[in-house]
Structure 1
Amino acid sequence: MIGERIPKYQWGQPVTAITDLLNDGTFPGKEPGDLLVKTGCSGEIVQVGSHEETNTPVYLVEFAEGLVVGCLEEELVSL
Structure 2
Amino acid sequence: MGDISRDSDVIELEGPPQFDFGERVVSRYKVRNDGTYPGKDVGEVLVNKGDVGYVTSVGTFLQQFYIYAVEFVASGHRVGMRAREIVSLDKLPPHVVEALGDKAALLAHIKE
TM-score by length of 2: 0.63
What is the identity percentage for the equivalent residue pairs of Structure 1 and Structure 2?
Answer: 38
Return the structure number with greater relative CO, CA threshold 8 A, min gap 6: 1
- 1:42 aligned onto 2:52: yes
Deviation readout 1:27-61 (Å, 9 max, x if unpaired) = 0011111100110010000001111x332000100
Amino acid at match of 1:30: K
In structure 1, distance between residues paired with 2:43 and 2:28: 17
- Tell me if 1:58 matches 2:67: yes
Tell me what 1:74 maps to.
84
Change in 2 beyond 3 A, CA 1:19/1:65: closer
Q: Which has the higher helix share?
A: 2
Number of equivalent positions? 77
SS at match of 1:50: strand
Instruction: Provide the residue aligned with 1:7 in structure 2.
Output: 17
Q: CA RMSD in A?
A: 1.6
Larger CA Rg, structure 1 vs 2 = 2
Q: Which amino acid aligns with 1:62?
A: E
Task: State the 4+ residue runs in structure 1 displaced beyond 6 angstroms.
Answer: none
How far apart in 2 are the matches of 1:37 and 1:65?
Answer: 8
Structure 1's unaligned 5+ residue stretches are none
Structure 1 length as normaliser, TM-score?
0.87
Relative to total residues, which structure has the larger strand share, 1 or 2? 1
Task: Give structure 2 stretches of 5+ with no counterpart.
Answer: 1-9, 90-112
